[in-house]
Copies of this chain bind each other. A is one copy, B any other.
Amino acid sequence: MAQPQIEELNLLHAHVCQALGVPTRLQILYALHDQPTRVNALAEMLKTPQSSISRHLAVLRQRSLVLAERNGTEVTYRLADDRIIEVLDLMRLVLRDALERQSNILN
């Protein structure tokens, strides 16, 4: 397959979005937006077992959201594309506005 068909792109699209549906993975993406970070550093920052972080990173890597670079035994991850944060920020803004609208209705 040279270019994925629309149907298939839709599947990939959902697959990528699904990767964003876990709080720890969102935290990882925001942390990597600050700066490229090693696996252990992420595990400490997020107070999460290393195996869990590593699995989440594998998911994010498979979905083209992050890139890995090895230096010796260390592996540093970075965002594959800063626009991912734009996506997340916009989604968060939309959510925030929706919540505000709801609370206005309640008052």
Which of B21, B86, B92 is within 8 Å of A9, CB to CB?
B92
Q: Classify the secondary structure of A's interface with B.
A: helix
Which of under 10, 10 to 19, 20 to 34, or 35 or more describes the interface residues of A? Answer: 35 or more
Q: A26 and B2 in contact (CB under 8 A), knowing A21-B15, A81-B98?
A: no
- Please name all residues of chain B whose beta carbon is closer than 8 Å to the beta carbon of A2 when the two chains form the complex: 103
A41 CB within 8 Å of chain B: no
Closest chain-B Cβ to A69's Cβ sits at a distance in Å of 15
Q: Write the A24-54 contact mask toward B (1 if CB under 8 angstroms, else 0).
A: 0111000000000000000000000000000
Residues of A within 8 A of B (CB): 2, 4, 9-23, 25-27, 64, 80-81, 83-84, 86-88, 90-99, 102-103
